[in-house]
Amino acid sequence: MNVGYVRLSRDDDKRNYVSIENQKLIISQFAAECNMVIDRWYEDDGVSGYIFNRPGLNQLMDDLDKDIDRVFVKDLSRVGRHNAKVLLLLEDFKERKKELIVVDTNYNSETDDDDTIGITTWYNEKYVKDISRKIKRALEARQKEGILMTQPPFGYKRNEIDKSKIEIIPKEAEYVKMVYDLYLKGSGYRMIANYLTENKVPTPSMVRHERELEEGKITKRQIVTVWSDSMVKDMLGNDFYIGTLRLRKRARSTVHGKDKRVPKDEQYVFENHHPAIIDKASFDLIQDMKEKRVKNNYRGSRGQWIGSEIPNPFGSCLFCKDCGRRLTPIRRTTSSRERKYYICTTYNTKGKRYCSKSHLIEEEDLMEDVVTYIKLCRDSLCEVIATYDMKDFDSEKRTVEEKRSEIQNQIDERKKQLKVLFTQKVRDLSNAHGNEDIVNETYDALQQDILSQIHGLEMQLSELNDTSLENEDVKDKLQNALQVVDKIIENGILDRKDIEILIERIEVDEDGLPEIELKYGLSGLIKYSPAQEMNRRENEIIYHTMRLIYEDERGYTSAKYLSKALTDLGYPKSKRSVLPYIGLMMDMGIVEPSDNSLKPYTIVKTKEELQKVMDDFYHEKLAKNNDGSIYAHDLHDVANDRRYAGNGI
């Protein structure tokens, strides 16, 4: 059987290469002159000759051993423009004892009497490479000039008069801002994609299709009606939205090869090229959040209150001080109210054998501590910015390096302990004589404790390695942080975005007390300890609570009375927030709960006894610390003055 193969592609100069139908006509006429007829045709239309994975050619090679005797082509460039692969294909025809006949040169693979065939195939490959090189050079020249040759992304369009100018599409821009805002509030890619789909927000392909129809264009573009994770991810990582044009992000090294990502320092970047939809500070913050989430295996759904659709504000920075794992958010609903709090992930999933305490902290307490801490940092932050010197940050970097070295030494020491423990376990098992289970259980517990310590230290080391002190624009970020601090002071609360800007890490100890570390090394630069100031203030409230009880002549006290009196003294407290202080008074034996709801707490100490308690407390906690130098561990430490978050759960 005689068959013909024809091909036409984008590589070909349409003025010099004839159409598919003309190729068939030329081949048919040549076959007729040889008293033959073409029984079947194979063709590839619009496929480059440099690519050998072509549908028509693949089918031809599959059928070659079935019923084909000879194959006719107009010229060898129709077979392909890859020199080595064409020569291999010719060898394949010879091994299968099939004829490949080239009309233009009268070449027949069976006789192979053309000594210049290698030159011909080399020239055909050179042709397509020359064209590819010219196109690549032309594209690169336009990219260097900052010319966008593709359609602008979702939210933008070209100016109808001057196509080189980019304009914002207001409605689409609102959707872009929505995506960024949702991510800043803690939602992940999947959650955002689902939200957009459920709220019938049009996808980029839907918008592009609608625009093409308005312009009267006919398109076969596939339309995607559902938002995907990758769409959201690409939008959040595209700096086009801050007014930056970034070209040559991908390139290929061979003709029709795969695109490879070009390093950022080799890309063509044009800042302030077009109007921005997203401010640079928010964009940079999101890139930091994305990197942190990847390294900590964070997902948006993990940042939610269990049973709630609202992401928690502390999802990315809250850790257990002992095991180093994240604190996970949970909530409980009682008869009076819903309580939201955080618990160590290790303790919550594996129990106290793996982390000895739950490290519970209620969100309201944590929020209050963080807001107070930030308020106290405000003046020092102003001073840091005003006297900014990179030497300060270089010094802080050295401190970070010392911390890294110290933690690594601790990790190495724990690993040595683990080896010694294993050796001792083997020795004790050999002498157990029927007590193997007890030995195994004892050593397994010790081993797990050391492994937990190692894991916690490694988490701390990982966080230090991700420190933000390497940023060159740290002063701008400090200025932005100061603006956030002022907003927090004005509103009395902070959201997820504020936390991402200001807070590097919060570690909660076994008593449910937070240790707060600010970003950019601020915690080390501030000249006084906000935690100490918080301690002083807490101790003042405790002292005033005792004094109010001392002055109460009724013989009893109540949350309503104490909250109002403390608020009048400048310590705003609600009836609920004053309960921990009443609990402390009970622990100290000053009051006892009664069965009379009108007289809820009976004063049990005499005035003389209470005066002595007040004097001792004042001299121990306040008089010696008039300069505010109360140690951090004193915060809430007197008989556990703050109700532990786990109480009543």
530 touches 373 (CB < 8 A): yes
pLDDT tens, residue by residue, 99-111: 888 887 777 877 7
φ/ψ region of 593 (left if φ > 0, alpha if ψ in -120 to 50, else beta) reads beta
DSSP notation for 554-603:
TSEE-HHHHHHHHHHTT----TTTTHHHHHHHHHTTSEEE-S-TTS-EEE
Confidence of residue 357 (pLDDT cuts 50, 70, 90): confident
What are the structure tokens assigned to 145, written together? Answer: 């000039």
Q: How many helices (H) and strands (E) does the chain have?
A: 21, 20
Angle at 463 between CA 462 and CA 468, to 5 degrees: 125
pLDDT tens, residue by residue, 526-543: 544 555 666 777 888 999
- Which long-range contacts does 463-467 make (Cβ < 8 Å, 24+ apart)? 463/319, 463/504, 463/505, 464/400, 464/403, 464/404, 464/407, 465/404, 466/291, 466/292, 466/295, 467/400, 467/504, 467/521
CA 299 → CA 456, 461, 623, distances in Å? 20, 21, 49
Contacting residues for 22 by C-beta, under 8 A, at least 6 apart: none
Angle at 67 between CA 61 and CA 72, to 5 degrees: 60
pLDDT tens, residue by residue, 258-306: 667 778 787 888 888 899 999 988 898 888 888 776 655 554 444 444 4
pLDDT tens, residue by residue, 25-45: 888 888 888 889 999 999 988
Q: Which residue has the higher pLDDT, 251 or 389?
A: 251
- Which long-range contacts does 15-21 make (Cβ < 8 Å, 24+ apart)? 18/74, 20/45
Contacting residues for 593 by C-beta, under 8 A, at least 6 apart: 586, 600, 601, 602
Q: Which residue has the higher pLDDT, 223 or 604?
A: 604
The runs of H, that is alpha helices, within 215-335 are 229-236, 280-295
The one-letter amino acid code at 205 reads S
pLDDT tens, residue by residue, 583-620: 999 999 999 999 998 999 999 999 999 999 999 988 88
Q: Domains in the chain, start-ordered, CATH in brackets?
A: 2-140 (3.40.50.1390), 156-278 (no CATH), 369-525 (no CATH), 530-634 (1.10.10)
% of the chain surpassing 70 pLDDT: 77
pLDDT tens, residue by residue, 434-487: 777 777 777 777 787 788 778 777 777 776 665 544 444 556 666 677 777 777
